[in-house]
Amino acid sequence: MAADKILAPRRTAQITLGGLPSQVFSNWCESVSGRLNGIEGEGSPEGLIDAPRFWLYVNILTDEVYLKRTRLGDTSGWLLLS
C-alpha cells in the first residue's frame, strides 16, 4: 500500500484508551485533518515544500492553489490549479 494513502483504522482497533484517543486513532485523525486543511505558505511550493501526494497548497500572497502530484520525499511535482 502506498504511503500517501490514508487508511481507516480497523473495525477491531481500539479508538480510546482511558478516555483519550488511541495512537492509531490519533494518527488517523491527524492524517485526515492534514489532507482536508492542506498547507499554506508565501510563494510557490515547487522545489521547496514536501507533502504527500494529492495534498493542496495555497499561496497566501496570491490565493493560487497547487496540487501535489508526486509522492512524499519529492519537493517537485506541484501543479498550479488556479
Give the tens place of pLDDT for each residue, 20-75: 999 988 888 888 887 788 899 999 999 999 998 888 999 999 999 999 999 999 99
Model confidence pTM above 0.85? no
| pLDDT attached to residue 49 | 95
Q: Indicate the domain borders of the chain.
A: 39-82
* Mean pLDDT, rounded, for 2-22: 81
Tell me how far apart the alpha carbons of residues 68 and 27 are, in angstroms, rounded to a whole number. Answer: 21
Percent helix, strand and coil across the chain, each to the nearest 5: 20, 25, 60
Q: Is 51 exposed, middle or buried (0-12, 13-18, 19+ CB in 10 A)?
A: buried
The pLDDT, as a whole number, for residue 3 is 57
